[in-house]
Copies of this chain bind each other. A is one copy, B any other.
């Protein structure tokens, strides 16, 4: 007998009919001989409705009270799901964040989980009940309701799985798994049977929006076997696990892209201490997050400094930098919002050389110029002209043979 944690998002519990469907999935796992804990979000649209009410009352609001209002959404869905399961003849019991309890820090609206108590849930599981837990919410040390931020229900589910030492945590969503790249862009994209936590983290930070990053970090920290699968279709989904030997054979597992960045180049920067601090300090004060940074120190004593910022902050960044540019005595500043970042990701890179080379060769053969390069232990990212995004993604997907099964690949 195993212990399975299931998580269903707002779309999966959006109607009475869909709640019955979720109840059936929980019961099916229970009938297979497992203990089952289900974490659920608010019914789709409900959190937006509650946030709308808060914003209608006041543009600026107390975050503690905001959390009181928005956490009511999950309270409704857990009760309804418990009633649905009982109406099908099985025992169920719902738990709110404070009832579990999900102890968090006191940062309203963006709380982090400190501890999940497991004993009440274990007692009720042993008594034969299916347990329903409200995602997204917790309680701080003073007894205030807190929420974990948008998408926080994924993190709730993983934290529960860790506290209960679950055999698996199944995240039901509207896609049937994690793909080698965006299937809307590359028809040959292949659903992966498994992927490592680190690769998933890179994919999430590079623009793939399947799971909340914090939930993957938590799963990695506590080695929770995490599965992403569809709540609408049958299928095995994609398992997130620690690295194993099969993985090491593969250089690249997936290709990701992100068109939400813009590039800024400060030209003729004097090669003096404190120059970079002045530029990035000004951006940080304006709450602008910088992603890739490249600087080549030249022999002439001055250099170009290039970096990327979110596209939505591009205009403000150019404005913010006018003063600092004068201050440090740089020659000029120029920017380009029409770029894309394309990345190859794979834990196999650690033990294989040649990934970057293969990548550059593939792009060159399609006539795509590389503007910036950034590497980490398990990914290579390049900045290219935005209009070549699709071409580049397809080119790399083919070059690394991602359409083929892992066993059939040549690479490495």
Residues of A within 8 A of B (CB): 16, 19-20, 50, 53-54, 56-58, 60-62, 64-69, 71-73, 75-76, 78-80, 82-84, 86-87, 92-94, 96, 98-99, 143, 145
5 residue pairs A–B, Cβ–Cβ below 8 Å? A16-B56, A62-B92, A65-B86, A68-B94, A69-B80
Provide the residues of chain B in CB contact with A78, threshold 8 Å. 68
Closest 5 CB pairs of A and B: A69-B79, A58-B87, A68-B79, A72-B72, A72-B75
Q: Decide if B84 touches A58 in the complex (CB within 8 Å).
A: yes
Provide the residues of chain B in CB contact with A20, threshold 8 Å. 57
Complex alpha-carbon distance, A143 and B123, angstroms: 15
Complex alpha-carbon distance, A375 and B61, angstroms: 57
Query: Contact check: which of B53, B64, B79, B84 meets A16 at CB < 8 Å?
Result: B53
Q: Decide if A62 touches B75 in the complex (CB within 8 Å).
A: no
Provide the residues of chain B in CB contact with A66, threshold 8 Å. 79, 83
- Which single residue of chain B is at the shortest CB-CB distance from A144? B99
Complex alpha-carbon distance, A53 and B57, angstroms: 26
- Which single residue of chain B is at the shortest CB-CB distance from A60? B87
Query: Contact check: which of B71, B87, B145 meets A57 at CB < 8 Å?
Result: B87
Provide the residues of chain B in CB contact with A69, threshold 8 Å. 75-76, 79-80, 83
- Which single residue of chain B is at the shortest CB-CB distance from A74? B72
- Which single residue of chain B is at the shortest CB-CB distance from A99? B143
Q: Decide if A82 touches B62 in the complex (CB within 8 Å).
A: yes
Q: Decide if A79 touches B65 in the complex (CB within 8 Å).
A: yes
Complex alpha-carbon distance, A256 and B58, angstroms: 45
Which of A54, A61, A80 has the largest number of chain B CB atoms within 10 A? A80
Query: Contact check: which of B57, B73, B86, B94 meets A58 at CB < 8 Å?
Result: B86
Complex alpha-carbon distance, A306 and B16, angstroms: 48
Query: Contact check: which of B56, B57, B76 meets A72 at CB < 8 Å?
Result: B76
Chain B min CB distance to A403 (Å) = 44
Provide the residues of chain B in CB contact with A83, threshold 8 Å. 54, 57-58, 61-62, 65-66, 69
Provide the residues of chain B in CB contact with A76, threshold 8 Å. 50, 53, 69, 72
Complex alpha-carbon distance, A68 and B97, angstroms: 12
With A61-B86, A86-B61, A98-B98 as contacts: A54 and B79 at CB distance below 8 Å: yes
- Which single residue of chain B is at the shortest CB-CB distance from A98? B98
Complex alpha-carbon distance, A289 and B65, angstroms: 44
Query: Contact check: which of B56, B75, B94 meets A75 at CB < 8 Å?
Result: B75
Provide the residues of chain B in CB contact with A50, threshold 8 Å. 76
Chain B min CB distance to A411 (Å) = 51
- Which single residue of chain B is at the shortest CB-CB distance from A82? B65
- Which single residue of chain B is at the shortest CB-CB distance from A17? B56
- Which single residue of chain B is at the shortest CB-CB distance from A101? B143
With A16-B56, A72-B73 known, 19 other A-B pairs at CB within 8 A are: A19-B57, A54-B79, A54-B80, A54-B83, A57-B83, A58-B83, A58-B86, A60-B87, A62-B82, A64-B93, A65-B79, A65-B80, A65-B92, A65-B94, A66-B79, A68-B78, A68-B79, A72-B79, A99-B143
Query: Contact check: which of B65, B75, B80 meets A71 at CB < 8 Å?
Result: B75
Complex alpha-carbon distance, A189 and B143, angstroms: 49
Which of A54, A60, A76 has the largest number of chain B CB atoms within 10 A? A76
Provide the residues of chain B in CB contact with A72, threshold 8 Å. 72-73, 75-76, 79
Which of A58, A69, A83, A92 has the largest number of chain B CB atoms within 10 A? A83
